[in-house]
Amino acid sequence: MIKYAISFFAFVLWFLVSPTGVFAQVATLSLDPATGTFNRNCPFSLNINLDTGGAQTDGTDAILFYDSSRLSITTSSITSNTVVYPDFPGNNVDEAAGKITISGLASVATPFTGKGTLATLNFTVKDSAPTGATQITFDFDPNNKAKTTDSNVVQRATIVDILNSVVNGNYTVGTGTCGTTTPSASPIAVVYKPTGSSTTSTPSATIAAPLPTKKTVLPPAGSEQLTFTVAIFGGVLTVLGILGLALL
């Protein structure tokens, strides 16, 4: 019994002091939105979201590939989220290779744990872009954790890469006007006011024709027949009262 107790104690102690723990903590990188239609000569933005899977992290490298014949982006068009990591020393865009590199580092005292937007990519669709499907993908090799040149999420106080999965983006280049979206825009919610005017829940929505005025019809205040009957009954009571006084 003592032997088993010592073995269990050793297991628990190893679990607590092990940098990676018994169950590997996993992180994910994803593009948001992951789908959509973006039209020629129009800007659009994508968020790179990070979920550390509950682990403390010292830094993250997000490396992505895009079609530079369709999309345009510069290093200055990348908005880093300094709430997640205070320092981004490795942001870069290689247009010739269609490659984006974003590198965020935690401070010595404060690792990042949880979910957050690592950075925002502000693209423009080229006016000469071929229409059709295009992708933005993470450079990520799930079978080679020792690889240091692809996307990775580094666990606190270790060199362990805990990035487990990524969500790439699949998009379509269209020819519509800027601001149009696919699928169709959100439905318009109309709220009637007492005056008959209306408001919409989406600032960009327009209403082609004026809405019909909502009329309120009040119910009849009373019945003429009932009023006449009550009046006759009241008169009879008045006459009876007068006769009663006369007989006293």
Q: Which CATH number describes the domain made up of 27-174?
A: 2.60.40.680
Phi-psi region of 203 (alpha: psi -120 to 50; beta: other; left: phi over 0): alpha
Strand pairing report for 99-105 and 57-65? antiparallel
Closest-CA residue to 38 (of 137, 167, 138, 126) = 126
| Segment 90-134, tens digit of pLDDT | 999 999 999 999 999 999 999 999 999 999 999 999 999 999 999
The token pair at 74 is 């510069």
Residue 208 binned pLDDT confidence (cut-offs 50, 70, 90): very low
Location of structure tokens 């300094």:
82
String of DSSP letters for 48-104: EEEE-TT--EEEEEEEEE--TTTEE--GGGEEE-TTT-SB-TT-EEETTTTEEEEEE
Query: Average model confidence (pLDDT) for the chain?
Result: 77
Kindly write down the DSSP assignment for every residue of 123-157, as one continuous string: EEE-TTPPPEEEEEEE---TT-TT--SS-EEEETT
For the chain, which residues make up each domain, given as ranges? 27-174, 184-214
- 143-194 pLDDT, tens digit per residue, is 998 899 999 999 999 999 999 999 999 999 999 999 754 443 333 333 323 3
pLDDT greater than 50 at residue 9 = no
CB of 45 closer than 8 Å to CB of 116: no
